[in-house]
Structure 1
Amino acid sequence: MGKTTFAIRHGWDNRFWLAFVATSWLAIAMGFGTPIAERFAGKAPYVAPIILVAHVFVYFGWMVLLTTQALLINRGRTDWHRKLGVAGAMLAVLVSATGLGAEIYSQRYWAHTDPENVRFFTFPLYVLIAFSLCAFLAVRARRDPAAHKRLILLATSAIMGGPYQRWWGHAIDQVTGTGPFNTWAHLYTGMNVLMIVAAGYDLVTRGALHRIYRIAIPLLVAGQFATIAIWYSGWWPPLVRSVLGIPPV
C-alpha cells in the first residue's frame, strides 16, 4: 500500500507501543538481570572496562528514551517527542560505538579460554549493523511518522537480540540441538518474534504491511542467514583474530 493511503495512526497504536516497551524491559531483566547482579556482587569473570560501563549506560539510555517517547505520544505531546528525537539520534551513535568497543574487549578476553568464541563475533556485528542502519534511516524518515516508528521498532528489536538469546537460548537449545539451525534459532528467535508480531499488527490494523516491513524484514532475515554462514566458515576465526590482535591458536 502506498505512502498516501497507509494509515499513520490507529486507535490501538499507543497500547501496542507500550506493550513493546514493557516486554523489552522484561527481556532485559530476564536476560541481563543475573549477569548484572553478579557483576555488582564481584562475581563477574573480569573487571568491567570503561567502554563496557559506557555501553551499559548508553544501552539503558536508549531504552529510557524509547519509554519516554512512547509515553509522550500516549499523552499527545508530539512537540516534546520531536525535541527528544535529537537525543535519540545521538544515543544511536553511542550505542553502536560503545557496543563495538565493548564486544572487542570481550572477544579479546574470552579468546584466551575459548578459542572458538571468536565465531560469536558475527552476532554482535550483525546486531550493531542492523541497529545502526535502521536507526539512521529512522532519523532520515522523521517527517514520515509511519516509516519512522517502524524503523525505530526494528532498530530496537535488533538490540533486543542479546537479552532474548540469554533468556530463551537454553530452552531453544533443548529443542533444536546443535548445528547451524540451532545457532540461528538461539541467536535470532527473539528478534524474529518481535518482527513477526510487528508485521502481524500491521496486517490486523491496516490490512497490509507497511513498505518498511516489506523491504527491511526480508533483508534483516537474509543478514541473519549470512552471519550463520560466516560463523561456520573456516576463514572467519583467523580473520577475527588478525583484526582484533588476538594471537592465533
Structure 2
Amino acid sequence: MASTARRHGAGIGFLATPRGPAFAPARDRNIYVLWIALIWAGMLAGFLPDLSRYFAEKPTPPPWILHIHGIVYFVWLALVTAQIALVEVRKPALHKQLGWWLVGLSVAIVVLGFVAAMVDMARSVSQSSYSPEFLGLEFQELAVFSILLWLAIEMRRDLAAHKRLMILLAVSIMDPGTARMWSLFSVDRPAAPLGWWFSFFWGNVTLVILMMAWDRWHHGRIHPALLGGGALIAAGEASAVWLNFAPWWHVAAGRLVAAWGWTG
C-alpha cells in the first residue's frame, strides 16, 4: 500500500483522496486497464468504419494537418495506455519519466486540435454540411481537456485522484469515436437539444457513470476527483449544447471561420 504522504500529497484539497483505507491503490488494481480498453473500443469502433469507407471511396485526401492531428492523438492514447501498464507492472520510475513527455504531447493535442478544427471547418464552407456552430463543441472539449490536464498534474502525488483524472482526460475527448458510432445506426442527428447531446456524448457519459458506479460499489463512495472531473466534463457538454442552439454563436462562429480562412 502507498504511504499516507503518497496517497494524500500536496494538490487541490477538494479533489483529494479521503483519508482511510477505502481508496488504497491496491483496491483499484486492473480497473484502469478496463477503463482505457473501453476508450480504445469506442474510438476504434467509430473510426475503423470511416477508414474502410475512405479507402473504398478514395475521396480527395484531407489536409496534412488533419492527418497529423489524428496520428498525434492515437500516439497520445497509446502513451496513456503505456502509463497505465507501467503502474500495473510496478514500474513507477519509468512512469514518472514518461509522464512529462505525456504532458508535452497533451499540450500538442490542444494546439493541433484547435488548428484542425478551424481548418476542417474552413474547408467545408461551400458544402451543404457547413455548420460553424459545431466549433462550440470542439472548443469546449479543448478547454475541458486543458483544465483536466492541469488538475491531473496538480494531483500527481495523490495516486487515486491522479489516476481518475487521467482517465477522465481521455474520456473528455473520446466522443469523436463514439459519436461516429451513432452514425452507424442513424444518419441524422436529433434536432432537440437533449437528443443532440446524447448522440454526441453518450459514450462519455456512459463511461463516467460506470466509473462512478465502480467507486460506489467498491469503495462505498465516489472519489472527489471523479465527482469534480465528471462535473467539469458535464459543464463542458452543457456549454456545447447551449452554443449549438444559440443564434448569436452561429453568427460569431461563421465570422471566426471567415477570418481564419486557411484550409490547410
TM-score for both structures, normalised by structure 2: 0.84
Note closer, same or farther for the CA distance 1:47–1:84 as it changes in structure 2 (3 Å cut). same
The residue aligned with 2:32 is 17
- For 1:34 and 1:2, locate their aligned partners in 2 and report how far apart those are by CA, in whole Å: 41
Note closer, same or farther for the CA distance 1:102–1:138 as it changes in structure 2 (3 Å cut). same
Q: What secondary structure does 2:230 align onto?
A: helix
The residue aligned with 2:62 is 48
Q: By how many angstroms is 1:43 displaced? A: 2.2
Structure 1 gaps of 5+ residues are none
Note closer, same or farther for the CA distance 1:25–1:216 as it changes in structure 2 (3 Å cut). closer
Amino acid at match of 1:8: A
Of residues 161, 177, 202, the one that matches 2:215 is 202
Do the aligned residues in 2 keep the contact of 1:180 with 1:232 (CA within 8 Å)?
A: yes
The residue aligned with 1:214 is 227
- For 2:96 and 2:226, locate their aligned partners in 1 and report how far apart those are by CA, in whole Å: 23
Do the aligned residues in 2 keep the contact of 1:51 with 1:102 (CA within 8 Å)?
A: yes
Of residues 102, 105, 116, the one that matches 1:102 is 116
Q: By how many angstroms is 1:49 displaced? A: 1.9
1:70 aligns to 2:84 (yes or no):
yes
Q: What secondary structure does 2:19 align onto?
A: coil
The residue aligned with 1:139 is 153
Q: By how many angstroms is 1:3 displaced? A: 3.3
Q: What secondary structure does 1:47 align onto?
A: coil
Do the aligned residues in 2 keep the contact of 1:161 with 1:191 (CA within 8 Å)?
A: yes
CA deviation vs aligned residue, 1:49-89 (integer Å, no higher than 9, x gap): 22212211110111111111111111111111111101110
TM-score for both structures, normalised by structure 1: 0.89
Amino acid at match of 1:123: L
Q: What secondary structure does 1:159 align onto?
A: coil
- For 2:203 and 2:29, locate their aligned partners in 1 and report how far apart those are by CA, in whole Å: 22
- How many matched pairs? 244
- For 1:114 and 1:239, locate their aligned partners in 2 and report how far apart those are by CA, in whole Å: 19
Q: Report sequence identity in percent.
A: 25
Structure 2 gaps of 5+ residues are 1-15
1:151 aligns to 2:165 (yes or no):
yes
1:192 aligns to 2:208 (yes or no):
no
- For 1:231 and 1:220, locate their aligned partners in 2 and report how far apart those are by CA, in whole Å: 17
Of residues 89, 100, 104, the one that matches 1:90 is 104
Amino acid at match of 2:51: I
Note closer, same or farther for the CA distance 1:32–1:2 as it changes in structure 2 (3 Å cut). closer
Do the aligned residues in 2 keep the contact of 1:173 with 1:182 (CA within 8 Å)?
A: no
1:26 aligns to 2:6 (yes or no):
no
Note closer, same or farther for the CA distance 1:26–1:209 as it changes in structure 2 (3 Å cut). same
Q: By how many angstroms is 1:152 displaced? A: 0.6
CA deviation vs aligned residue, 1:186-219 (integer Å, no higher than 9, x gap): 1111101111111111112211111112223223
- Higher RCO, 1 vs 2 (CA within 8 Å, ≥6 residues apart): 2
CA deviation vs aligned residue, 1:145-189 (integer Å, no higher than 9, x gap): 111111111110011111011113554788x94311111111111
Note closer, same or farther for the CA distance 1:192–1:173 as it changes in structure 2 (3 Å cut). farther
The residue aligned with 2:3 is none
Do the aligned residues in 2 keep the contact of 1:100 with 1:128 (CA within 8 Å)?
A: yes
CA RMSD of aligned residues (A): 2.3
Q: By how many angstroms is 1:47 displaced? A: 2.4
The residue aligned with 1:242 is 255
Q: What secondary structure does 1:156 align onto?
A: helix
The residue aligned with 1:8 is 24
